[in-house]
Amino acid sequence: MTDNFIATENGNIKISEEVIMRISAISAREVEGVTGLGTSGSWSDFLGKKSADKGIKVEMSEEATKIDVHVTVKFGVKINEIAYKLQKTVKNAVESYAGLENISVNVYVDGIEPEKTVEEKTQEK
């Protein structure tokens, strides 16, 4: 995993890709209309791995940070609006919390989750 160094007057600050992945995952889940991260049936699901940052990929270099976000959205939402909100929310969170600049956020809508019927909601309880 590549680490990003930020030079300060007091020394260097190192922020790992894992931290950026976690920030991205947390902020992506806060966007209304997003029902999940990653794709169902992914290798991590097959292997039984449950990850808080599943569906997030981060590539960091000295020049830029690229974040790929794979999501499932609720049926009936405007996908392009959700994708734009995701880009803006994730980018703002990473800039704010990690102090990084030159961030690009690519959104991949990999699935649509249908609304649950009243019967399905009752069965879950």
The domain tally of the chain equals: 1
pLDDT in tens, 21-77: 999 999 999 999 999 998 654 444 444 444 556 899 999 988 899 999 999 999 999
Residue 67: name the closest of 19, 125, 5, 8 by CA: 19
User: pTM, whole model, 2 decimals?
Assistant: 0.77
Contact 79, 35 (CB under 8 A): no
Q: Which residues of 72-95 are buried (b: 16+ CB within 10 A; e: fewer)?
A: bbeeebeeeebbebbbebbbebbe
Higher-pLDDT residue of 59, 124? 59
Contact 69, 31 (CB under 8 A): no
User: Domain range holding 27?
Assistant: 3-124
The owner of tokens 């209304």 is 32
Tokens, residue 60 = 């960091």
CATH number (domain holding residue 88): 3.30.70.1350
